[in-house]
């Protein structure tokens, strides 16, 4: 007789990020009639939920295999959870951020206080200053920093997945727009990226960028104003052009973006995925949802992975070239059904200035990805290609919220 134990699937993980979620899952667990499963929290990952009023419920639930991160729990209940096999992550003191946060960021949150002070005083700048100091500090501080930043990035990833699965970013395919951070407001390249973002949003896509300045900000701007029309975008571009770049004053640069948001406070959803690794490049405020990471490698991988509708590559430098070939690598080794379209905009740029396209085309020759690589001069052609390839997945033009 074969004595090999039966194989079972990995236990299901249940992400719980609100009190309502907890109550729903608790009610289901307590109602189960199978006594092997009843009242168990095995596989529950509860994050940033105030459970101080749920002591009686927690006492009825078996805690083995559960994880609690950044939750507020009554002391005796927390001891009971730990004794029953739960993993309870404690508060980490002295942090300028919540490592267990339950939501993505917004520009207003990262730049809170900008109207009354300088950029150096806002949460985004304070977090970067902390990371710059702590990650290069002594062993004890470095350990706390590594733990807290890893937990933070995990939390951001979980919240982003939730938004894409059934939240504000779930109604349409995400299209990534990659391009250089150095494009100044008021330049032809910045305007091109903004109009591309608006066209993609009008077509029904959700635009995702690296969340920084330059072409990234422009694409988020255009997407945000996706149903407002070209005249409104022109007016917003004029406001921003008064502060072309962030290098002279991040404060003035950011306040110009705040003025755009104040004038047009309701726009379409658009995603930015910046990083504190490049903290000298401030995040742009024009993404409605900001998934900001400490680890740049994680951020790069997530941005490419989530852009299921395809990626448009505008002219850029080393970072954009890296993204081209990182995406190409995923497509090169990926199954045919997982390949994401790649559209490079700027024939002269991608064949002569930085000749990435010839190498890309040679890599793709004879492989499934070959039919999903495009080189165009007109951003409108990039939009048409992506609309054709995503036919049936688009929600159509959406009005301003």
User: Does one domain contain both 196 and 335?
Assistant: yes
User: Does one domain contain both 372 and 245?
Assistant: yes
pLDDT the model gives residue 38: 62
pLDDT the model gives residue 102: 85
User: Does one domain contain both 82 and 179?
Assistant: no
Average the pLDDT over 219-230 and give the result. Answer: 96
User: Does one domain contain both 72 and 188?
Assistant: no
User: Does one domain contain both 186 and 335?
Assistant: yes
pLDDT the model gives residue 191: 98
pLDDT the model gives residue 141: 72
The residue with greater pLDDT, 219 or 3, is 219
pLDDT of 272-316, one tens digit each?
999 999 888 999 999 999 999 999 999 999 999 999 999 999 999
In a domain, 329, yes or no: yes
Range of the domain at 183: 172-389
pLDDT the model gives residue 140: 52
Report the alpha-carbon distance of residue 159 to residue 161 in Å, rounded.
Answer: 5
> Residue 331 carries which DSSP code?
H
Closest CA to 122 of 282, 329, 338, 295: 282
pLDDT of 116-152, one tens digit each?
999 999 999 999 999 988 655 555 577 888 889 999 9
Report the alpha-carbon distance of residue 86 to residue 75 in Å, rounded.
Answer: 14
User: Does one domain contain both 208 and 351?
Assistant: yes
User: Does one domain contain both 206 and 338?
Assistant: yes
In a domain, 128, yes or no: no
Which of 90-104, 200-214, 344-358 is predicted least confidently?
90-104
Of the residues 27, 61, 89, which one is the last residue of a structural domain?
Answer: 89
Closest CA to 103 of 42, 163, 59: 163
In a domain, 326, yes or no: yes
User: Does one domain contain both 359 and 257?
Assistant: yes
Q: Quick one: pLDDT band at residue 94, thresholds 50, 70, 90? A: confident
Of the residues 41, 63, 89, which one is the last residue of a structural domain?
Answer: 89
Long-range contacts of 379-383 (CB under 8 A, 24+ apart): 379/192, 379/195, 379/196, 379/199, 379/312, 379/345, 380/199, 382/196, 382/312, 382/343, 382/345, 383/196, 383/199, 383/200, 383/203
In a domain, 142, yes or no: no
In a domain, 167, yes or no: no
User: Does one domain contain both 234 and 373?
Assistant: yes
Q: Which residues pair with 40 in a beta bridge?
A: 62
How many domains is the chain partitioned into structurally? 2
Of the residues 41, 73, 89, which one is the last residue of a structural domain?
Answer: 89
pLDDT of 10-58, one tens digit each?
457 898 989 999 999 999 999 876 666 668 999 999 988 999 999 999 9
CATH number at 233 reads 3.40.50.450
pLDDT the model gives residue 120: 95
């Amino acid at each position: 007789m074969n004595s090999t134990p039966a194989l079972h699937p990995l236990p299901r993980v249940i992400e719980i990020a609100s009190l309502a979620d907890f109550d729903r899952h608790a009610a289901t667990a307590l109602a189960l009639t199978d006594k092997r499963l009843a009242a168990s929290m095995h596989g529950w990952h509860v994050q940033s939920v105030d459970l101080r009023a749920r002591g009686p419920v927690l006492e009825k639930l078996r805690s083995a295999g559960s994880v609690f991160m950044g939750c507020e729990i009554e002391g005796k209940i927390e001891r009971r959870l730990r004794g029953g096999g739960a993993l309870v992550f404690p508060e980490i003191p002295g942090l300028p951020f919540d490592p267990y946060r339950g939501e993505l960021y917004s520009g207003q949150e990262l730049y809170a206080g900008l109207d009354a002070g300088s950029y150096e005083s806002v949460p985004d700048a304070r977090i970067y200053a902390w990371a710059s100091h702590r990650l290069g500090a002594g062993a004890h501080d470095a350990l706390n920093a590594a733990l807290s930043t890893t937990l933070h990035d995990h939390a951001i990833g979980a919240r982003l997945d939730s938004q894409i699965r059934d939240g504000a970013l779930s109604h349409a395919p995400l299209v990534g727009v990659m391009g250089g951070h150095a494009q100044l407001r008021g330049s032809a390249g910045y305007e091109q990226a903004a109009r591309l973002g608006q066209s993609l949003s009008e077509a029904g896509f959700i635009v995702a960028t690296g969340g920084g300045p330059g072409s990234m900000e422009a694409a988020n701007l255009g997407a945000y104003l996706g149903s407002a029309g070209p005249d409104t975008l022109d007016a917003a571009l004029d406001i921003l052009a008064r502060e072309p770049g962030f290098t002279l004053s991040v404060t003035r640069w950011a306040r110009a973006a705040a003025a755009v948001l104040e004038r047009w406070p309701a726009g379409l959803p658009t995603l930015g995925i910046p990083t504190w690794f490049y903290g000298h490049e401030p995040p742009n405020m024009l993404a409605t949802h900001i998934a900001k990471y400490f680890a740049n490698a994680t951020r790069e991988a997530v941005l490419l992975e989530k852009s299921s509708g395809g990626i448009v590559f505008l002219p850029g430098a080393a970072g954009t070239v890296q993204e081209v070939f990182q995406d190409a690598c995923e497509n090169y080794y990926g199954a045919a059904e997982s390949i994401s379209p790649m559209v490079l905009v700027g024939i002269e740029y991608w064949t002569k200035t930085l000749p990435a396209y010839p190498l890309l085309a040679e890599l793709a020759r004879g492989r499934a990805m070959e039919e999903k690589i495009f080189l165009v001069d007109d951003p409108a052609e990039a939009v048409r290609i992506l609309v054709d390839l995503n036919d049936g997945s688009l929600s159509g033009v959406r009005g301003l919220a």
